[in-house]
Amino acid sequence: MKQVFNHSNSMHKSQGFTLIEVIVVFTLLAMIMAMIFSGIDSGRRTAEKGEKRITGINEIRVIQGIVRHQISRSMGLGVEESDEGEILKFIGEENAVTFVGQMPGYLGSGGPHIQKLELVNADGGKLLQYTHGLMSNYDDEDEQTGFDDAEPIVLLENIRDGAFAFVELDEEGLPTEWLNEMENPTVMPLMVQLDLEMNSEAREKWPLLQIAIQVDASSSSARRRTSTLNTLRGRENNIQGDDQ
């Protein structure tokens, strides 16, 4: 009877798991769950990073589209009168451009608008801001225009440094090199360039933006400008070929 009792007791003890086996199982489960949640979190962060980059690219694309559209369609009307009585049609400086052009219907109406794109100093860098206002048809010099009362709109932040540059015709009718300031603001430039260096907080870099000014294709001046633009492009292609 004693032997039978011992045999039954040993069979009873062999059932179930030991404490070490339970600990090993739970450790493995914890490792598996950690890997699963790590993969999910990594995928979420990758998706968020991709969404931010797409948003940054779209933001830059929209801003460049606005700048290109407005500058390329500048009308060559007088922005202001100089002290010598000259009508300035396109004021181009290193940090700003001022010109006259039509606004899209959903942004402005009533006629041509004076428009200004300007790089202004901000905390630790610069901002690209845009101001526009309806031209005045009054002859009174003291009359305020819509541009004088307009509030600037911030188009882009997180700019470390930047500058506008211009190509215009020289005295011989040939395109100049890129200039930091318009030498003859009484005529329209051939091309306008906006080069920006973004800081570390920016989502995306700013691709170099070069804009050709559109004019009436039926005029003789337009044909002359077109030939000079072709000359300029050929010059740039030759420079690129020499660099290669």
- Digit-coded pLDDT (tens) for 117-141: 999 998 879 999 999 988 765 455 5
pLDDT band for position 237 (cuts 50, 70, 90): low
Q: Return the closest-CA partner of residue 131 out of 147, 109, 120.
A: 147
Judged by average pLDDT, the poorest of 96-105, 132-141, 148-157 is 132-141
Give the separation between CA 206 and CA 184, rounded to whole angstroms: 28
Most confident among 19-23, 175-179, 220-224 (mean pLDDT): 175-179
Would you say the pTM of this structure is higher than 0.85?
no
Residue 40 has pLDDT above 70, yes or no: yes
Judged by average pLDDT, the poorest of 4-13, 153-162, 206-215 is 4-13
Q: What is the pLDDT of residue 215?
A: 65
Give the separation between CA 149 and CA 145, rounded to whole angstroms: 7
Residues 74, 188 contacting (CB under 8 angstroms): yes
Residue 87 three-state SS: strand
Percentage of the chain beyond pLDDT 70 is 71
Q: What is the pLDDT of residue 22?
A: 80
Residues 91, 99 contacting (CB under 8 angstroms): yes
Judged by average pLDDT, the poorest of 19-28, 41-50, 187-196, 202-211 is 41-50
Percentage of the chain beyond pLDDT 90 is 38
